[in-house]
Each structure stands twice: as structure tokens, then as C-alpha cells.
Chains A and B, each alone.
Chain A
Amino acid sequence: MKRSKRIEALDQRAVNKDGFIDEWPEMGFIAMKSPYDPKPSITVENGVITELDGKKRADFDFLDQFIADYTIRTDRAVESMAIPSLTIARKIVDIETPRSEILRIISGITPAKMAEVINELNVVEMMMGMQKMRARRVPGNQAHITNLKDDPVQIAADAAEGALRGFSEEETTTGVARYAPFNAIALLIGSQVGRRGVLTQCAVEEAVELELGIRGLTTYAETLSVYGTEKVFVDGDDTPYSKTFLNSAYASRGLKVRFSSGSGSEVLMGSTERKSLLYLECRCLYVTKGAGSQGIQNGSVSCIGVTAGVPAGIREVIGENLVAALLGLECASSNDQSFSHSDMRRTARTMLQFMPGTDFIFSGYAAEPNYDNMFAGSNFDAEDFDDYNVLQRDMQVDGGLRPVTEEEVIRVRREAGKAVQAVFKYLGLTEVTDEQVEAVTYAHGSHDTLTRDVASDLMAADDLMKRGITGVDVVRALAESGYEELAENILSMLKQRVIGDYMHTAAILDDQFQVMSGVNTPNDYLGPGTGYRVDGKRWEEIKAIPHRINVNDF
């Protein structure tokens, strides 16, 4: 066939490098509604759910049983299930119906009913729903802080810059697993240099992550993964009950925790039971709620390549974010994984969470160049900071970030590097040289930094764990190395777990370590003239992007 030059040009477009696939319900490649999804139903006898979504109690798998026993409010189920799904969907969008009434209705419906409700909504209606149902009044944002070399100095510097730019939470992970304690300590220090009150976590294997949390080297946790089918749960060596136990382990030490789910994992693990992405994600979120977690990271997350590959996949993503909010969970709404070669497509996908606002629009945003993002690339990275600031300014939307000056960036990066250098010296860890700090201060990413001795670092990291080093040791190291104020900030973060208020739904801390959560600052949106509006000091901050024409010098 003689080829059309138009079609040839289109074939070369970035979007055509993405992976797309037809719907295939037998293997779970179906976004919103599979012909094999169950029909909603419930029977409650003597306060016990004896039948759920077409299945008798004797036939329940462990997800069904967990959801029936711990998630659905049996005292509300009959009343809520009697309301037509379309009516519930309309109430979600209706500005006359307050969030509290929606939460009450939703607490009595089943996962299949939830999927049916979501299927009634188009994406604009879902965004309307999210605007009202988000737990916290003011939206927030979370950063990823990682690099290819697991360089602790760069982690501290990027954490400081990220905190300065407005992120309320910062998450790290490792390239080499044994680096975890170094990354956690560097993130803890750097974050408090940039802005007091930023929460930090280190996403690694669950037992290690818990230990880092208990020692006070992190201030929250996120990587408690749940899945939508029993088979995938078992493959992960887990059950809803073991996850609940892990959740309680964190709670016992006063640490903020959220669970992690997202559609597509069951497809990638090859066990979907022929159900839709949305229905399986509903089950994940019901398990999360039943486990007593305050929140969830969801929105397909690391399996977005699958969800985005099927028709209506991106509609499903905002749909599952909305399900989390409807259940009263804090929603950290993904946007944290690269899924498209097309700048147009990746931006469009993020607008669905950016415009209505979620508790954390990204979970997280790569605060380093994507080549350094050890979560295999986020949807936005450090090179998009100015684009993002302009989007906030264009639409007068609070996306959780703010413009910064080059002087401030250099100052906090250097201070964070110096503080890590001092702590490593005090604790007898591997040396951090002045040259390393200097290189990191001015670096964009790990291509611009010096190489560290990996084998020595790993030995020192192992040794640190063996010696039982805790967050208090980090505070002492800082205080005795001349960093009293920073030591005080980290001590204030450790005190949060004694106070406990930041375990409430959707909690973040301001720079005075005061909690802002869905409990003390709940979302009160009820249509035009209500809820959070971008104005005053915050609007002035958003307006002040660096590259403006200076009329006085023109």
C-alpha cells in the first residue's frame, strides 16, 4: 500500500508509542464493567451479613468475609441498598446534599453497588464528586525523593528543595534495598531543612519499613498493599487480616499509615477472576476501610500501563479515587507513575485530580529528574515544576506547590547536605566529603554528582541497623554538631507519635507542627461560594512565578 504522509506523520507521534489493548474481560482487561461482575445484593440476619453481591456466606472468599464482617454497616445496609444507584450517583453530584449524608449512605452499600454507582458518572461528574467528597478542606501534594545512586546527600538536598516547594509529604525508596536506613535518615533531615512539619516515609519491604518507622527514622508509612482477589493476596504472602495486623503495629507506635492499592495489579499478576478493574479496586478499598486504615494511595498506581491501555481506563482511575473519598478515606491519588510518551496525554490524566483537588494530588510527584525516579518514573518530574506552577496560576487552582527562587533552592540544598554530613560523621557512618555536598547543592540529578563507595555504604547501613540507631540518635547528632534548630524540628516530628493527632484522616502538618486533617479542617464544599477557594496570601504566592515580564524595566 502506498502510504499517506499524513498517517506516517501521525504514526510517529509520541502517543503511538504507548501500549493499547482491546477489552478482554476473561483476563480482566476491562475498565468499568465486566459481564462477569456480580449484581449488587445483601442479606442481613441477626446483624450478620449472610449474603453479599449474589454470594452466600458459605461461598465467601476471605475478601468477602472481611468486607461483610468489618466494612459494611449492617445497621444501614438495608436502607442504603434500597436507594437506586442512579439516585446515589445524583446525590454525589448534587450541591444540596452534604458530604456527611453521602458518607452515611455509602457506609451501607456493597462493593458491587459502589461499582454500579460509579458507572452512572461521567468524568466531569466524578470530578464534581471528588471536589465535595475529598476529606481535607485544602488539597495537598506528595513528592518522590530518590536517585539512581541512592546518594543520601542528594536525597537530603532534594527533600529540602521539595519541602521548600510546598510538598506536605515526601516518599523515598531504594535502588539497592540495603540502602533503606540511609535513605530514610537523609529524607528525615532534608525535609525539615526545607519546611518544618513535612512527613516522610521510606517505601521498602514491609518488615524493614515497619522497623524504620518504629525507630523513628520515618514519620509515616504508605506501602501496605492490598489486592482485589484472594489469589493475588496469597501470592503476596498476605491476607486482609495480616494487613490489619500490620496497620495496628504502626498505630501502636502512633505512626500515620495509609494503605496502597490501585487497579491493574490483578491483571499483571494474572488472577482477575474475570472482574472489571473498577470492581476489583472497590474490593481493595472496602478491605482498606474494614482494616481501620485512615487512607489509601490509589489510582492504578504502578499498574497504570494496563489501566491506561484499555478503553475508559483513565475514567476508571478518577472513578477509583472517588470510591476512596466516598468511603471517607484519605485519597493520595497516584499520578505518580509515568504511563505515556505523550505530554498531552499525561497532562490530561492529571487534570482529573488537579482540578477538583484531592488530599494528595500526586503520590508522588518526582522531585528529581525522572531518570533518578526509582519508582520507575513519575507522571510529572522536577523538569515540570514551572509548568505545574503555571497551571496553578492559569486556573487559580491549588495544586499544593509554589514558585521558589534560585537563591532559596541553593541555600536549603547546601544546608541539608551539610547536616547529613555532620550526622554521618557523628554516628560513625561512611564519610560525606565537602566536594559531595558542593556537587549536590548545584546538581539537577545524579548525573551531576560524585560517586560514592557503595560497598562501604552498605556495610555502614547494616551496622547502623545492628547498633539500634533511632530517630533520637539523629536528633542528638544534630544537636551536638551545632544544628540545634534542625534537631528541635526533628524532635517535634517524633513527638507527633506521642500526641497522635496526625493519625486522623488526611492529616498533614503546618510549619508550626499543627495538624490539618479531615477532622479539624474538614472539606465543607457545597457548591459555588463554599469550600476552599484560592485567595489571599496563597493566591499571591501562586501568582508570583519567576518568569514574568517586569513592566518597570520594560
Chain B
Amino acid sequence: MEVNEQLIQAITRAVVEQLRRNGVQPPYGQNAQKPSEPGVNTLAGKTRMRPKHSYEGAQKAPQGTDPKEIVIGVGAAFQTEIRSTITGIPLEEVIRNVKAGIEEEGMTSRVVKVLDTSDVGFMALKSAKLSGSGIGIGIQSKGTTVIHQKDLYPLTNLELFPQAPLMTLETYRRIGRNAARYAKGEMVTPIESVNDPTVRAKYQVKAALMHIIETEQLDPDKGMIPWEDGDKR
């Protein structure tokens, strides 16, 4: 059997891919840091993750009046600096499924980008207050989601999905459906809790980095802006 450079590279890629699927962090030379001299393993001096996106000219999203409307408030880095959730689900698919869930229940949706806070509870509450129905959904770029109602305390909510790595597209669709049912005043059975005690070990550092990316894109003067065609930006 002839072994050439291309074949070796292809096998290496396949092995690395398999390791990743098994949840192993990348080995040397695959995005990981190599060990080096003492005092060198530091990121000191680096001040941000991504350049600041300009929202020059963006208008504030208007107050909703349609009682059938549910506002989806997405994070500041959504579809600009961050294109998929912490587990790699493309953000346009996330939005598509939430909207589809809302439509299945005969309600309508409006997407806005929240530029004044990256805290998902407040993102959801602000969206609820903007929404004609009083129900809003906040979605951080890493995938964490809250369903909120305009007259609740900020740190309470209708439904909270705190573990972003456990989210699936089906969950997002069901979130859309439940939000629509709350807006219709139905008796809603919350989506059952899921739990994975290994999530913190694997993802919390990544979550912190993604939250830094989101937070450094905040533009509080802009508030909330229309984000209907986010995927085309």
C-alpha cells in the first residue's frame, strides 16, 4: 500500500475529528497551547476577543401592539461575531426553529437584537416588554434561552434553559410553541428539565469566552434594533 502525505493528513484529520466527537480537547498543534518557557503561558496585554461591530444608523425597534406577536431578543454578537451556539448549532437554524414553533401555534414573531445587556434574563424581559403580547424570548449567542413575561420580576421567568450545551433544535422549536401558548393564555406544561453534570467541566471556560465576545459588542445607546434578516448580514 502506497502511503503518501495526503493520505496521512486525511487519516490525521479523521482521528482528530473522532477525538473531538469523544469530547477530548484538541492535542498539541490543533488549536491548543504548547507548553513553553515559564512566564510565557499568559495572554496578558490582550484586551478584547473581536473588533467592535458598528451599528451606525440602526433604528430602535418599535413598541409592539399586536397581541399575537412574540418578540425574540438575540444577543449582541448573534450572527455577527458568533455564528453557532456553544455546541455548534448554526444560529440561523436556532431562529428558524423558534419562529416555526411560534407559527405552529398561530402566532407571529419578530426578531430584535438586544444591544443594552448580555444578561439573558434581562434580554428576555426587555423583549417581553417590547412584545405586543407581553411574552418575549431571550437567546444568547451561546444558546442559553429564557421565556419571559413583561410583568414578572427580572430574575424570575416563565421558563429558563440554563445549560446551553444541552439545547437541540427540537428544544428551540418547543420553546417557540410554549411561548406562543403563554401568549394565548393557555395552561402550559413547561418543557421538562434536562441535566448533565459534566457540562460545567467541559464548557464553562468556553461559555465565559463567548460571553466576553457578546458583552464587548454591547452598544447601550442603540438599545434594541430590528434583526429580522440577521442571517443575511
Residues from chain B with Cβ under 8 Å of A23 in the complex:
41-44
Residues from chain A with Cβ under 8 Å of B163 in the complex:
376
Of A205-213, A433-441, A465-473, A504-512, the one with at least 4 CB within 8 A of chain B: A205-213
- A489 within 8 Å of B (CB atoms): no
Contact B195 A372 (CB under 8 A): yes
Residues from chain B with Cβ under 8 Å of A25 in the complex:
42, 44
With both beta carbons as reference points, the residue of chain B lying nearest to A379 in the complex is identified as B197
Contact A305 B200 (CB under 8 A): yes
- A338 within 8 Å of B (CB atoms): yes
Contact A3 B195 (CB under 8 A): no
Tell which of B157, B188, B189, B197 touches A373, judged by Cβ atoms closer than 8 Å.
Answer: B197
Which residues of A282-305 have CB atoms within 8 Å of chain B's CB atoms? 302-305
- A377 within 8 Å of B (CB atoms): yes
Q: Which one of B46, B195, B201 has the greatest number of beta carbons of chain A within 10 Å? A: B201
| Tally of contact residues, A, Cβ under 8 A | 63
With both beta carbons as reference points, the residue of chain A lying nearest to B206 in the complex is identified as A19
Contact B156 A338 (CB under 8 A): no
Of A54-62, A263-271, A412-420, A513-521, the one with at least 4 CB within 8 A of chain B: A263-271
Contact B197 A377 (CB under 8 A): yes
Contact B198 A338 (CB under 8 A): yes
Residues from chain A with Cβ under 8 Å of B122 in the complex:
235
Of A10-18, A93-101, A153-161, A357-365, the one with at least 4 CB within 8 A of chain B: A10-18
Tell which of B33, B45, B196, B202 touches A18, judged by Cβ atoms closer than 8 Å.
Answer: B202
Which residues of B94-151 have CB atoms within 8 Å of chain A's CB atoms? 117-119, 122
Contact A303 B204 (CB under 8 A): yes
Which residues of B53-108 have CB atoms within 8 Å of chain A's CB atoms? none
Instruction: State A21–B197 Cα separation when bound (angstroms).
Output: 20
- B154 within 8 Å of A (CB atoms): yes
Residues from chain A with Cβ under 8 Å of B14 in the complex:
none
- B23 within 8 Å of A (CB atoms): yes
Contact B189 A455 (CB under 8 A): yes
Known: A12-B22, A17-B202, A306-B204. Is A270-B192 also a contact (CB below 8 A)? no
- A24 within 8 Å of B (CB atoms): yes
Instruction: State A93–B4 Cα separation when bound (angstroms).
Output: 63
Residues from chain B with Cβ under 8 Å of A21 in the complex:
205, 209
Instruction: State A341–B190 Cα separation when bound (angstroms).
Output: 30
Contact B195 A24 (CB under 8 A): no
Q: How far is the CB of A141 from chain B (nearest CB, A)?
A: 19
Q: How far is the CB of B188 from chain A (nearest CB, A)?
A: 8
Contact A207 B199 (CB under 8 A): no
Residues from chain A with Cβ under 8 Å of B159 in the complex:
176
- A399 within 8 Å of B (CB atoms): no
Residues from chain A with Cβ under 8 Å of B209 in the complex:
21
Which residues of B164-194 have CB atoms within 8 Å of chain A's CB atoms? 187-190, 192-194
Instruction: State A35–B39 Cα separation when bound (angstroms).
Output: 13
- A502 within 8 Å of B (CB atoms): no
Q: How far is the CB of B12 from chain A (nearest CB, A)?
A: 8
Residues from chain B with Cβ under 8 Å of A26 in the complex:
43-47
Contact A370 B197 (CB under 8 A): yes
Tell which of A19, A149, A177, A338 touches B160, judged by Cβ atoms closer than 8 Å.
Answer: A177
Report A204-236 CB contacts with B as 1/0, cut-off 8 Å: 011110000000000000000000000000011
Residues from chain B with Cβ under 8 Å of A306 in the complex:
204-205, 208
- A148 within 8 Å of B (CB atoms): yes
Instruction: State A205–B155 Cα separation when bound (angstroms).
Output: 6
Lowest 5 A-B CB distances belong to which pairs?
A377-B197, A305-B204, A175-B193, A270-B215, A19-B205
11 of the cross-chain contacts (CB-CB < 8 Å) are A1-B29, A19-B206, A24-B44, A149-B193, A175-B193, A177-B157, A271-B215, A304-B200, A371-B196, A376-B163, A376-B199
Interface residues of chain B, those whose CB is within 8 Å of chain A, are 12, 15, 19, 22-25, 27, 29, 33, 41-47, 117-119, 122, 153-157, 159-160, 162-163, 187-190, 192-209, 211-212, 214-216
